[in-house]
Structure 1
Amino acid sequence: MTPFRIPACARRTFALAALSLAAASASAADYPNRAVELVVAATAGGGTDVMARSFADTARKYFAQPFIVINKPGASSAIGFADAANAKPDGYKVGVVSVNLVILPALGLMKLTSDDFTPVAQLNYDPSAITVRADAPWKTVEEFIADARKRPGAMQVGNGGVGDIWHVAAAAFEDRTGTQLNHVPFQGAAPAIQSLLGGHVEAITVSPGEVMAHVQNGKLRTLAVMADQRLPAPFASVPTLKERNIDLSIGVWRGLAVPKGTPGAVVDSLRDAARKTAADPAFKDALVKANLGEAYLDGDAFKASIERDRESLKKVLSKLVIQK
């Protein structure tokens, strides 16, 4: 019987695969040996950026290398998400992901999905809120709704971009209140807030934490929050929509994720750092000062939460008219 021989080309392929696997294992064992990029798919100054920078500052205690925040805004987070998802899966580029990761694909605004990532940890959750200038004519959310009904399509409401969670929140508000708004997209919450301050839009639907400084200095006023319960000071006196018999609670979660295929040892290292950082009083205090909600979930729980949102938001979005 003639002995079976593996062709030379196949032997070379096997050898190269073995070398590649060995190199990957060695690289994972050596991780991290240089700074790690933290890709924020939003402009500087917004809630996602503030959370990411607070995480990077505190994580220095628990990670061998620094996290460097890189802002890549645009297309309602799709540009930053794609940059992180398409990176080499070696743990040196970590995406700061948000609920937009499940919204954009459902709206057909982004091809990649949460399946293109391995979740590391959820770090935060914040509701949407209706905020206007302090000199606006509406003192209550009821007055705001009444005026919007009188002027269908005329009320200019800023959001973080087409298909962004704040855009979806405003569309859900329309659906629940029988109003028609004029949605004005921006590349993140920060420029939307600046436009409101400048009087270029009449309201915004970003999170309370993102407008807190301007509420405290008397330039802006929050009329209602889209949460199950009232928030702590300085929003303790602000009613929820549910208190006003409007059944709407919607907001954003934010967390960390790496490209699919990242070695398990690398993911475990990042999860360990995320867990310790999230529990650190310095990080908790930073979230409180920015009025950002603490909501930690580890990798498996975070993944399960993303899957639940993907299904539940798909049902919500199917009922809404999102102006693209």
Structure 2
Amino acid sequence: MKKFVASLFFVCFILLLAACGGTESTSDDGAGEPADTEEPAENGEDTTTESESETSFPEQNITLIVPFDAGGGTDATARALASAAEKHLGVSVGVVNRTGGGGAVGMSEGANAAPDGYTVTMVTVELATLPHLGLAPITYENFAGIGQMNFDPAAVTVPADAPYDTLEEFIEYAKENPGLQMGNSGTGSIWHLAGASIEQATGTEFNHVPYDGAAPAVTALLGGHIDVVPVSPAEVLTHVEAGTLKTLAVMSNERSPAMPDVPTFAELGIDAVAVGPWRGLTVPKDTPPEVIEVLTEAFSKGAQEEEFIEFMDNNGLGIVILDGPEFEAMMQESHDFYGELIPELGLNE
């Protein structure tokens, strides 16, 4: 009995000590929650570590993949934007051209790159068309958007000495001479779709000649190897101004600021689908959100730099800026649109 009483007294003593110790370690707000065991920072300084509040990205140079040849509108846009964004990133942005497959080679490489933000890809409208043509397994779903920077209409352009000066005359000539050579930037490319849309709307028939990009197609036009190209104003503007080429019309509802005197298909009463390229930046889909945020902010600021705006204006390239989520939504809409158009044109057979 004496042992039991002694044991009971000892237990009560231990519990009393524990209660006293707990009172000293609780916060003084009366809530009864344990107080922070870390000593408070002096002068109220934030003790959050760098990894908790911000990313150290980027710590090395960034590669920007362009899926078409150097010299075309996509390449020019990418290089101008890379230059404008470098000061906002604090590292160099090196542009590399990965051509082939109407853009599929370069975009596939970008989609399969390490999702660390150090490989950025300039994707184009072909990302929305190639899957429906069975020419590429990737879609917008393989990427996370950084932002859209550009949109341009198709400009139907011919040699300056061609025997037609208006779109109406060209269509009449094409009907009388079926099989005119129409260059494009690759089978299933946006310029191929533009040409097919013209055929559908006007009852004409062309022989479509694919090239690895618009620049080689324009070169072929200048050399007399083909008869016409439907490419962006930027890709023919200098030649039009030099008097070696002439643009008959643009495939849009509004005139191009780069060619304000050139009529639109809509003005001429031709019900052609208004197709044209868009361009934007992406990274692989599993790239960390904080890295995407850094890239989005830097390239968005770059797109608003005077040097970039002046370059785009001087070269006839249209500026359209959408942030990452907006660009992803636009890519999905474009994917769905061409998913309907391509079967209608019979290009997926």
Q: TM-score, normalising length from structure 1?
A: 0.89
1:62-86 CA distance string (max 9 Å, x none):
1111110001111100000011011
Equivalenced residue count is: 297
- Residue among 114, 122, 133 paired with 1:107: 133
Deviation at 1:29, TM superposition (A): 2.6
1:175-194 CA distance string (max 9 Å, x none):
11111110000000010000
How many Å separate the matches in 1 of 2:276 and 2:292? Answer: 27
In structure 2, the residue matched to 1:117 is 143
In structure 1, the residue matched to 2:16 is none
How many Å separate the matches in 1 of 2:77 and 2:167? Answer: 28
Amino acid at match of 2:113: A
How many Å separate the matches in 2 of 1:157 and 1:75? Answer: 18
How many Å separate the matches in 2 of 1:178 and 1:98? Answer: 28
Amino acid at match of 1:170: G
How many Å separate the matches in 1 of 2:270 and 2:338? Answer: 18
- Residue among 60, 81, 85 paired with 2:86: 60
Amino acid at match of 1:143: E
- Residue among 212, 216, 219 paired with 2:241: 216
Structure 1 window deviating more from structure 2 (303-312 vs 250-259): it is: 303-312
Are the counterparts in 1 of residues 240 and 247 from structure 2 also a CA contact under 8 Å?
A: yes
How many Å separate the matches in 1 of 2:319 and 2:278? Answer: 10
Deviation at 1:323, TM superposition (A): 8.3
In structure 2, the residue matched to 1:281 is 306
Report whether the alignment pairs 1:35 with 2:57: no
- Residue among 294, 297, 300 paired with 2:322: 297
| Alpha-carbon RMSD | 1.4
Structure 1: 4+ residue segments shifted above 6 A: none
Report whether the alignment pairs 1:319 with 2:328: no
Residue identity over aligned pairs, in percent, reads: 44
Choose 1 or 2 for highest CA Rg. 2
Amino acid at match of 1:247: D
SS in 1 for 2:146: strand
How many Å separate the matches in 2 of 1:299 and 1:322? Answer: 31
Deviation at 1:317, TM superposition (A): 1.2
In structure 2, the residue matched to 1:44 is 70
1:250-304 CA distance string (max 9 Å, x none):
1010000001101111100000012111111211111001100010000111111
In structure 2, the residue matched to 1:228 is 253
SS in 1 for 2:250: strand
In structure 1, the residue matched to 2:22 is none
Are the counterparts in 1 of residues 147 and 321 from structure 2 also a CA contact under 8 Å?
A: yes
How many Å separate the matches in 1 of 2:55 and 2:328? Answer: 25
Are the counterparts in 2 of residues 162 and 323 from structure 1 also a CA contact under 8 Å?
A: no
Q: TM-score, normalising length from structure 2?
A: 0.83
Please list every run of 5 or more consecutive structure 2 residues that lacks an aligned counterpart in the other structure: 1-50
Are the counterparts in 1 of residues 102 and 186 from structure 2 also a CA contact under 8 Å?
A: yes
Report whether the alignment pairs 1:78 with 2:107: no
- Residue among 164, 169, 183 paired with 1:143: 169
Alignment map for 1:143-292 (pairs within 5 Å): 143-152=169-178, 154-233=179-258, 235-248=259-272, 249-292=274-317
1:75-123 CA distance string (max 9 Å, x none):
1000000110111111111000011001000111101111111111000
Are the counterparts in 2 of residues 229 and 240 from structure 1 also a CA contact under 8 Å?
A: yes
How many Å separate the matches in 2 of 1:168 and 1:185? Answer: 12
Are the counterparts in 2 of residues 148 and 180 from structure 1 also a CA contact under 8 Å?
A: yes
1:145-182 CA distance string (max 9 Å, x none):
11111122x21000000011000110011111111110
